[in-house]
């Protein structure tokens, strides 16, 4: 009985450690560089793509689960993984595979953004 609980807690610890480490690296980049938030997001996504292209990011996902898939680098992993699987169907499949793999997340982001825009009024940031 306690073994099941310890396994769940260990899963949380691994996810927190990996996800927290990715966020810590991002915070260090924010603090010590002049990169904008958009550029940092793109770099982290491309790092996820590159690591999955080399076949390394999947080990991080197997170890940490959501701790590795939730950050933006996990989105890069998802795109690369879909492209790799789609490429088995041909050249065009490499493009459609990436999009079909990420379609649920992108659709959810668009739908929830639209719903929030209907209920809340945007305000410009005051300096």
Residue 125 lies in a domain: no
Confidence of residue 102 (pLDDT cuts 50, 70, 90): confident
Domain that holds residue 84: 2-119
Residue 36 lies in a domain: yes
Element (H, E) at 70: none
Residue 66 lies in a domain: yes
Q: What pLDDT does residue 30 have?
A: 92
**Residue 80 and residue 53 in contact, taking contact as beta carbons nearer than 8 Å:** yes
46-85, pLDDT tens digit by residue?
999 999 999 999 999 999 998 998 888 988 998 898 888 8
Residues 6+ apart with CB under 8 A from 84: 52, 53, 94, 97
Q: What pLDDT does residue 2 have?
A: 79
Mean pLDDT across the chain, nearest whole number?
Answer: 89
- Choice between 122 and 44, residue whose per-residue pLDDT is larger: 44
Q: What pLDDT does residue 92 have?
A: 84
Residue 126 lies in a domain: no
Task: Name the domain count of the chain.
Answer: 1
Q: What pLDDT does residue 25 have?
A: 94
Residue 52 lies in a domain: yes
Q: What pLDDT does residue 111 have?
A: 93
């Amino acid at each position: 009985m306690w073994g099941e609980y310890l396994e769940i807690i260990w899963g949380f610890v691994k996810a927190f450690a990996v996800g927290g480490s990715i966020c810590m690296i991002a915070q260090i980049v924010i603090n010590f560089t002049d990169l904008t938030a958009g550029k940092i997001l793109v770099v982290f996504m491309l790092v996820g793509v590159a690591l999955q292209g080399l076949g390394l990011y999947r080990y991080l996902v197997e170890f940490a689960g959501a701790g590795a898939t939730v950050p933006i680098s996990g989105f890069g992993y998802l795109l690369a993984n879909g492209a790799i699987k789609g490429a088995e169907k041909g050249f065009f499949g490499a493009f459609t595979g990436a999009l079909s793999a990420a379609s649920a997340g992108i659709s959810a982001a668009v739908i929830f953004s639209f719903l929030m825009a209907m209920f809340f009024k945007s305000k410009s940031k005051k300096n």
